Structure 1
Amino acid sequence: MKTIEKLQWRYAVKKFDNTKFLSNEQIQILKEAFNLTATSYGLQPAKLLVIQNKEIQNELMAHSWNQRQVVDASHLLVICVPKSYSTEEVQNYFNLVQKIRNTPDEIINPFKKFLTAEIEKKTQEELLIWNKNQAYLALGNLLTVCALENIDSCPMEGFVPEKYDEVLQLHEQNLTSVLVLPVGFRAQDDYMKDLKKVRKNIDEVVINFS
């Protein structure tokens, strides 16, 4: 039940303690957890920006509905995906498979051919939606890992991606921001800190088949 207790402890922090900072070890855990997130076909389209710069965080707060979590958090994580996506990513993935697993071409090629065709038949708009879905998988994983590591967080969609892209110069890297996750430590006077979690009864959200 320890995992459940940790998830009970977690909540979307409304006020961070701006005097406390995550250790390098804690940030490394979050980086590795992001990298280990399950993604469709294992393609890992998302990128993670780790920001610890109060000047930049202040600038981004103005494009985040002035939510102070963006600047008061120890670090600001921004999950991004490619603005345009091509079959080159498929080739890069299978190159990595061969490098790590030494998988023969005769085994790789049928799946590579299939996946290349899947990418080619999708529009850039469809690929962007698909990759955004992968970003949400990464966010869910990070939230759970944060809870397990006693790191506070606040998942956010309330920001202006175009402005984030501009401030962080993401266009130059063919990226666009999708999700924001301030991480750090809750302030002791956060009004949400001691409130009971509001959730439906398990029987209302889980359907059992036997």
Structure 2
Amino acid sequence: MNIIDSLKWRYAVKKFDTEKQLSQSQIDTLKEAFNLTATSYGLQPLKLVVIKNKEIQKELVAHSWNQPQVLEASHLLVICTKDNYTTHEVKNYFNLVQKIRNTPDSVIQPFKEFLTAEIEKKTQEELFLWNKNQAYIALGNLMTVCATEKIDACPMEGFIPEEYDKVLNLKAQNLKSILALPVGFRANDDYMKDLPKVRKETNQSVIEIN
């Protein structure tokens, strides 16, 4: 399939086949795709929690408005961002730039000072919202990769982040859960499986300026 056919193939799965599991190779592909996601200034303020533990998945169903996909899925992916975001992240980023690219201090310093100042002048609430928005970029990237790899998924905002944070002990890692993505394989009796995709005509959603 080409990319458009793959995107037509995907849908938000309502029922997963509990007998089918993703291979380690498929999970590794999703992990690497997440790590390669574009982020603002390249700072990568996100973390991905990969869960393959049915007891934990079962516990999280109750905090996901009882959506069964959380348990039925092969794996549950949870996209998180930092709870407390500081200029230490900028320092780590530029240390990595120098390690990988061997960029001189004279080139790095002006941009480093700019980013440090930008973060220092923002409140933690502003920084959280900034990073939260980037979680949606990662989610979109993961969904596209899932489609191309024929991995089924169901993007979720419908859960209680504070409860996820408790179950996954995220506060101890300075993290907050933002989005969830159960992944696996669609069940043959998922009522949504063969329904045609409902979308506007492209000329109704796209404006071209020539």
State whether TM-score is above 0.5. Answer: yes
Tell me the equivalent position of 2:173: 173
Matched residue of 1:131: which SS?
A: helix
2:149 aligned partner, one-letter code: E
Q: Tell me which residue corresponds to 2:143.
A: 143
**Equivalent residue number for residue 108 of structure 1:** 108
Q: TM-score, normalised by structure 2?
A: 0.99
CA deviation profile, 1:73-92 (whole Å, cap 9, x unmatched): 00000000011100000000
TM-score, normalised to structure 1's length?
0.99
Q: Count matched residues.
A: 210
What CA deviation, in whole Å up to 9, does each residue of 1:116-159 have, x standing for no partner?
01101110000000000111100000000000000000000000
What secondary structure does 1:81 align onto?
Answer: strand
Task: Report the 3-state secondary structure (helix = DSSP H, G, I; strand = E; otherwise coil) of the residue aligned with 2:188.
Answer: coil
Question: What runs of 5+ residues in structure 1 fail to find an aligned partner?
Answer: none
Matched residue SS, 1:21: coil
Separation in structure 2 between the aligned mates of residue 133 and residue 92 of structure 1, nearest angstrom: 21
Q: Which residue of 2 aligns with 1:86?
A: 86
2:27 aligned residue: 27
Amino acid aligned to 2:73:
A
- 1:204 Cα offset (Å): 1.1
Instruction: State how far apart, in whole Å, the 1-side matches of 2:200 and 2:88 are.
Output: 44
* Counterpart residue number, 1:122: 122
d(CA) in 2 for partners of 1:151, 1:41: 30
Q: Percent identity?
A: 73
- Matched with 2:193 is 193
**Is 1:67 paired with 2:63?**
no
Quote the residue 2:58 is aligned against.
58
Measure, in 1, the Cα distance between the counterparts of 2:120 and 2:164: 29
Give 1:205's aligned amino acid.
Answer: S
* CA deviation after TM superposition for structure 1 residue 99, in Å: 0.1
> Amino acid of the residue matched to residue 184 of structure 1?
G
User: Does the residue aligned with 2:76 lie in a helix, a strand or coil?
Assistant: strand
Gaps of 5+ in 2: none
Q: Give the CA RMSD over aligned residues.
A: 0.6
SS of the residue corresponding to residue 12 of structure 2 reads: coil
Q: Which amino acid aligns with 2:22?
A: L
Give 2:133's aligned residue: 133
Distance, in Å, in 1 between the alignment partners of 2:204 and 2:107 is 45
Amino acid corresponding to residue 2 of structure 1 in structure 2: N
Give the 4+ runs in structure 1 shifted more than 4 A. none
